[in-house]
Amino acid sequence: MSKKLTSRAEDYSKWYNELVVKADLAENSAVRGCMVIKPYGFAIWEKMQAELDKMFKETGHQNAYFPLFVPKSLFEAEEKNAEGFAKECAIVTHYRLQNDPNKKGKLRVDPEAKLEEELIVRPTSEAIIWNTYRGWIQSYRDLPLLINQWANVVRWEMRTRLFLRTAEFLWQEGHTAHETKDEAIAETKLMNNVYATFVENFMAIPVIQGVKTESERFAGAEETFCIEALMQDGKALQAGTSHFLGQNFAKAFDVKYANKEGKQDYVWATSWGVSTRLMGALIMTHSDDNGLVLPPSLAPNQVVIVPIYKSEEDLNAITEVANGILSNLRGKNISVKFDNRTTHRPGAKFAQHELQGVPLRIAIGPKDLENGTVEIARRDTLTKQTVNLEELVETVEGLLKEIQEALFNKALDFRNTHITEVDTFEEFKDVLETKTGFISAHWDGTNETEEKIKELTKATIRCIPLDMKEVEGVCVYSGNPSKGRVLFAKAY
Amino acid sequence: MSKKLTSRAEDYSKWYNELVVKADLAENSAVRGCMVIKPYGFAIWEKMQAELDKMFKETGHQNAYFPLFVPKSLFEAEEKNAEGFAKECAIVTHYRLQNDPNKKGKLRVDPEAKLEEELIVRPTSEAIIWNTYRGWIQSYRDLPLLINQWANVVRWEMRTRLFLRTAEFLWQEGHTAHETKDEAIAETKLMNNVYATFVENFMAIPVIQGVKTESERFAGAEETFCIEALMQDGKALQAGTSHFLGQNFAKAFDVKYANKEGKQDYVWATSWGVSTRLMGALIMTHSDDNGLVLPPSLAPNQVVIVPIYKSEEDLNAITEVANGILSNLRGKNISVKFDNRTTHRPGAKFAQHELQGVPLRIAIGPKDLENGTVEIARRDTLTKQTVNLEELVETVEGLLKEIQEALFNKALDFRNTHITEVDTFEEFKDVLETKTGFISAHWDGTNETEEKIKELTKATIRCIPLDMKEVEGVCVYSGNPSKGRVLFAKAY
């Protein structure tokens, strides 16, 4: 914490990498592309998990756990899904080490312990789960099957960045089975909505709901719904996806049910997921050159109290006041920490809590003792105010609510001023080079145009917004007819 | 659920295997030795996790997350640990699949995508964690470091059984670092105590705390504390372990700290864990020939209400009463479900809830409506009573408490009557063949004797009890001097 962070203006990417490490959120490990999530970062992820898990259960889902490994033959069963993930998976081929006969004290893979069939470390669990569902589903009485799993998954990414793209990451994956196509589509939309509500209300990140184009769709899906957020550098980030899988997996794994008339039919499927990638979105949406800025809903400590004292007598008196505050705030379900470490000076504590994004800091010094006051500093605005002790609880409650809203509104303003409608390809390229953000433009609906634009500008279609207005227009690239504007952006 | 369970007397092992599957707790998967934890089983595991997590946090621990993979070279660093786990691990050697040139539509491991260094799927995380701690610990200010991880681990077991021994299992692993040996030993004992408290109070399973002999110790530990439980078939089950690791890992991974005088020293370590194996202990301790019996603390539904009706009019009236009960019980934090499925008859519902171990079943029929009563059935004793609606909440609260205590006391009685003191090897063998359970016997303290007894009887030393009385005696096998009685048993 000795050196200052690189500023966002100077090097946004470097700022992010430094911040993740310095704020004690995560770090790279000895394993290529795999991260260690440090206690402070994990405490934020736990808060996300708890809230999402509650929302999943409120919408009728149950948790379960499926194997880490997928036998290669199962992995191959759904062709598109297999092709989509084959290039980036870790493969277990052996099951034993032995003492290396050539190097004392070293181990080597036992060549005799080769698996008959290789095991894929799950990059996603559709294959193993649908193979299991075949045994769980016989009739309409078994439907809908609404299951979620919290798990680690592995995708052998070549370029990795903490939280945003790592070889192993943590996520949840919902996998549901339904009687009808309509019901499955309704579930797909419902869960995309749950994600949008969570990300907006808890993470204070505004999102646009939409569907993906065919080329950006999940491998094996018929339709992919998504929520798209905008980071401070003007790049988009896909924050969650919900897939309508049609009957593809049911057919690949022969999962049929008897309907009320006793007729056999394949079930309809969905899957949906969010991951530790959301940590990246959280960091990049709100934080500033001084460090992390956390919305109160997700802050491990919403308030920290720092004593400022020279004598032990002062510290004792401050401790007494602080204990009263701790008990009052905790009584209101506000998480608060008294930072009475004797190993650090107040200045160092201030710097640390600022870097770690604690929403409110309360400082208590000898003058405060005399006056019956404390000083409250807001992390988001870096403003301070002096508050009487009697009004403290109410003030803190009000400020936490205000900060949560202010962070959302600030991000929403930024997002809204970074959606630019363009009608020519020159404008399109100009926006990408100057203002960045989302570009709202007409598109002719073909893969070819999408691919060509990507090749020329690195911008992709983030989504076809659910609230897209149907208007006649001409494609910004090809000049062919278009039925509405879609959102392009460079993306994480 | 059509066929009855095999009885325990007939075939205990078969009874267990059937029960796990029929009660919807878990099942085998397509991956050798790996299980699927079904929603009902997972709901019980989630309750265990929540309570343990709370206890860990109350004792000052924080959660974090470390990589799934351990590079082979790190794995080798602590020699004993490496040897202890080398024989049974899954090894990732490649990172890509490709289209198989010989079989259309199939994939094969891309031979070009071979890893430079093999990755071990963690069988336990000491190596990767201690390699990380080197960067986290510089001075006494960084100590103690008290971290826990909830994770999946893989041990390539040859003979697997649902929950008791599976290739992949879920667990938590605590890993702590301390300034002094005494502090680390105190932590080791503290966490063994936390486990004992949890298993006794929440799982209603009595345990004996003790230390392991050298041959049964965790690979790389200097002392292993454990809690040992006794199953209904008279076999012991190790329910949790807490290891004092000395400075072994600190030395292997060069983790030093500067003490208050600025002198460098290696830190002292502990690790401790419990796993989904606890599910096996839960099932085998309390359940009976009718199915699962769950202590109220861990039951996903503590109470289930079953309506008994012929007319829709009756159902409506029963529903009104049931809704009142639901709201009253939930107000007391009692989890309760109204089983108003129209697809199943009351008899089928009774059988299902009995099989799944719901502690209390409330039945409401037309006569109950007339009398303002309900019928309550206890799962543990299979007894029924009629209760007036006004007294229902109080009765349910009382019964849940009573059941929790009764299950513990019943298991405690069984355990206590299955600890047999023997003084000759003839008696020793006789107990194993007739009564089973723990055998309390003098042992000369040598590996050789322990090994010989194991070879002759399959019984191992489960632990040297912490409350062992120091008394002079002679070893039950060798006749050599002994300082106290240790506990032998056949074990899971």
Contact A132 B343 (CB under 8 A): no
Cβ-based neighbours of B393, under 8 Å, separated by 6 or more: B328, B329, B332
Residue A105 lies in a domain: no
CA distance B401 to chain A (A): 27
Phi/psi at A359 (nearest 5 deg)? Answer: -60, -40
Q: Find all residues with CB under 8 Å of A332, minimum gap 6, and list them.
A: A393, A396, A397
Read off the amino acid at residue B342.
T
Q: What is the CATH number of the domain that holds A382?
A: 3.40.50.800
Q: What is the mean pLDDT of residues A253-264?
A: 96
Taking an 8 Å cut-off on Cβ atoms, the answer to whether A88 and B65 are in contact is: no
Average pLDDT over residues A123-127: 97
Residue to test with chain B: of A1, A28, A36, A172, most B Cβ within 10 A = A36
Same structural domain for residues A356 and A468? no
Residues A281, A316 within the same domain: no
Q: Are residues A437 and A393 in the same domain?
A: no
Distance (Å) from the C-alpha of residue A273 to the closest C-alpha of chain B?
A: 18
Residue whose tokens read 């078969």: B14
| Residue A463 within any structural domain of the chain | yes
**What digits encode the pLDDT tens for the residues A198-226?**
999 999 999 999 999 999 999 999 999 99
Tokens, residue A375? 């000083």
Residue B462 in contact with residue B488, Cβ under 8 Å? Answer: yes
CA atoms within 13 A on the CB side of A404: 16
Work out the average pLDDT over A477-492: 97
* Those residues with Cβ within 8 angstroms of residue B418's Cβ, 6 or more apart along the chain or in another chain: B230, B234, B435, B436, B437, B438
* Each residue's pLDDT tens digit, A345-389: 999 999 999 999 999 999 999 999 999 999 999 999 999 999 999
Q: What is the CATH number of the domain that holds A183?
A: 3.30.930.10
For residues B200 and B207, is the Cβ–Cβ distance under 8 A? yes
* A29, A109, A151 ranked by CB distance to B132: nearest: A29
pLDDT band at A395 (very low <50, low <70, confident <90, very high): very high
Handedness of CA B474, B475, B478, B481 (dihedral sign): negative
Inter-CA distances, A71 with A139, A192, A222, B67, Å: 27, 30, 25, 22
Per the document, the length of chain B is 492
Given this model, what pLDDT does residue B55 score? Answer: 98
Residues B298-323 as b/e (b if ≥16 CB within 10 A, e otherwise) read: bbbbbbbbbbbbeeeebbebbbebbe
A86 vs B105: CB contact, 8 Å cut-off?
Answer: no
Residue B269 and residue B355 share a domain:
no
Going through B327-459 in order, the beta strands assigned E by DSSP cover 336-338, 360-364, 373-378, 384-388, 419-421, 438-442
pLDDT single digits (tens) A406-441: 999 999 999 999 999 999 999 999 999 999 999 999
Question: Is it true that the peptide bond before B144 is cis, omega within 30 degrees of 0?
Answer: yes
Are B36 and B129 part of one and the same domain? yes
Are A327 and A209 within one domain?
no
B65, B94, B131 member nearest A170 (Cβ): B65
Determine the Cα angle at B440 with ends B406 and B427, to 5°: 115
Partner residue facing A63 (CB), from B39, B67, B79: B39
Looking up tokens 């929540």 gives B50
**Among A212, A201, A267, A220, which residue's Cα sits nearest to residue A241?**
A212
- What is the CATH number for A423? 3.30.110.30
3-state secondary structure of A50: helix
Q: Are A69 and A90 in contact (CB under 8 A)?
A: no
Closest by alpha carbon to B122, among B96, B145, B77, B88? B88
Contact predicate A192/A227, CB 8 Å: yes
Instruction: Report whether A39 contacts B147 (CB < 8 A).
Output: yes
- Give the burial class of B182: count Cβ atoms within 10 A of its Cβ; 0-12 exposed, 13-18 middle, 19 or more buried: exposed
For residue B83, what pLDDT is reported? Answer: 87
Using CA atoms, how far apart are residues A287 and A20, in angstroms rounded to an integer?
11
Contact A68 B29 (CB under 8 A): no
* Domain boundary pick from B344, B368, B399: B399
Banded model confidence at residue A343, pLDDT cuts 50, 70, 90: confident
Claim to verify: residue B394 and residue B449 sit in the same structural domain: no
Closest CA to A227 of A248, A203, A247, A257: A203
Q: Which of B71, B271, B257 is nearest to B171 (CA)?
A: B271
Query: Which of B29, B43, B79 comes nearest A62 by C-beta?
Result: B43
Residue type, B48: M
Query: Considering only CA atoms, which of B70, B79, B170 is closest in space to residue B125?
Result: B70
CA distances from A221 to A85, A215, A225, A463, B138 (A): 13, 11, 10, 15, 50
> Which two structure tokens, joined as six digits, stand for A95?
């099951």
Phi and psi dihedrals of A470, rounded to 5? -80, 105
Is residue A268 included in any domain, yes or no?
yes
Report which of A326, A329, A333, A317 is spatially closest to residue A372, judged by C-alpha positions.
Answer: A317
CB contact under 8 A, A105 and B63: no
Q: Output the furthest CA–CA distance in chain A (Å, rounded).
A: 83
Give the domain range for residue A54.
12-68+135-286
Helix (H, G, I), strand (E, B) or coil at B275: strand
Alpha helices in A9-71 (DSSP H): 12-22, 39-58
Secondary structure letter of residue B16 according to DSSP = H
Q: CA A174 from chain center: how many Å?
A: 15
A129 Rama sector, left if φ>0, alpha if ψ -120 to 50, beta otherwise: alpha
Residue A247 has pLDDT above 90, yes or no: yes
Domain shared by A233 and A345, yes or no: no
Q: How many residues does this entry show for chain A?
A: 492
Residue A1 has pLDDT above 70, yes or no: no
Domains held by chain B: number: 3
Q: What is the pLDDT of residue B1?
A: 46
Burial of A86 (0-12, 13-18, 19+ CB in 10 A): buried
Size of interface A-B (CB pairs under 8 A): 191
- Residue B171 CA to residue B27 CA, distance in Å, equals 18
Q: In this structure, what are the phi and psi dihedrals at residue A52, rounded to the nearest 5 degrees?
A: -60, -45
d(CA B34, CA A244): 28
Residue A174 lies in a domain: yes
Q: Which helix (DSSP H) or strand (DSSP E) does residue B195 occupy?
A: helix B181-201
Examine the fold and report which residue of A233, A256, A286 is the final residue of a domain before the chain moves on.
A286
Strands A236-246 and A223-230: antiparallel
A224 & A260 share domain: yes
pLDDT digits (tens, 9 = 90+) for A87-101: 999 999 999 999 999
Indicate which of B61, B69, B276 best probes the interface with A, i.e. most A CBs within 10 Å of its own CB: B69
Residue that terminates a domain, selected from B286, B320, B341: B286
Could you please report the per-residue DSSP string of B285-298?
Answer: HH-BTTB----GGG
Q: Are residues A232 and A327 in the same domain?
A: no
pLDDT exceeds cutoff 70 at A2: no
DSSP B114-163: EEEEEEEEPSS-HHHHHHHHHHH-SBGGG-SEEEEEEEEEE---SS-BTT
Those residues with Cβ within 8 angstroms of residue B170's Cβ, 6 or more apart along the chain or in another chain: A65, B37, B45, B150, B151, B152, B275, B276
Looking at the fold, whether B52 and B188 belong to one and the same domain comes out as yes
Residue B86's pLDDT is 84
Enter the tokens of residue B61: 């621990």
CB atoms within 10 A of CB B328: 15
Residue A271 in any domain: the answer is: yes
| Rounded Cα distance, A178 and A268, in Å | 5
Inter-chain touch A107–B70, beta carbons under 8 Å: no
End-to-end, the C-alpha distance of chain B in Å comes to: 27
Tens digit of pLDDT at every position of chain B (492 positions): 446 899 999 999 999 999 999 999 999 999 999 999 999 999 999 999 999 999 999 999 999 999 999 999 999 999 888 888 888 999 999 999 999 999 988 999 999 999 999 999 999 999 999 999 999 999 999 999 999 999 999 999 889 999 999 999 999 999 999 999 999 999 999 999 999 999 999 999 999 999 999 999 999 999 999 999 999 999 999 999 999 999 999 999 999 999 999 999 999 999 999 999 999 999 999 999 999 999 999 999 999 999 999 999 999 999 999 999 999 999 999 999 999 999 899 999 999 999 999 999 999 999 999 999 999 999 999 999 999 999 999 999 999 999 999 999 999 999 999 999 999 999 999 999 999 999 999 999 999 999 999 999 999 999 999 999 999 999 999 999 999 999 999 999
Q: How far separated are the first and last CA of chain A, in Å rounded? A: 27
Residue written as token pair 């592309």: A33
Domain annotation covers residue B470: yes
Q: Do A36 and B66 touch (CB under 8 A)?
A: yes
Phi, psi of A167 (to 5 degrees): -65, -45
- Whether the CB-CB separation of A33 and A366 falls below 8 Å is answered with no
Burial call B359-375: b when 16+ CB within 10 Å, e when fewer = bbbbbbbeebbeeebbb
B35/A156 touch (CB, cutoff 8 Å), yes or no: no
> Do both A61 and A205 map to the same domain?
yes
Give the separation between CA B451 and CA B458, rounded to whole angstroms.
9
Query: Which ranges of A121-247 does DSSP label H, i.e. alpha helix?
Result: 126-136, 181-201
Q: Which residue among B69, B152, B168 sits closest to A31, beta carbon to beta carbon? A: B69
Residue B407 belongs to a domain: no
Closest listed residue to residue A272, CA positions, set A229, A228, A240: A240
Residue A80 forms part of a structural domain: no
A83: region left, alpha or beta (phi > 0 left; psi from -120 to 50 alpha): alpha
CB within 8 Å: B39 and A120? no
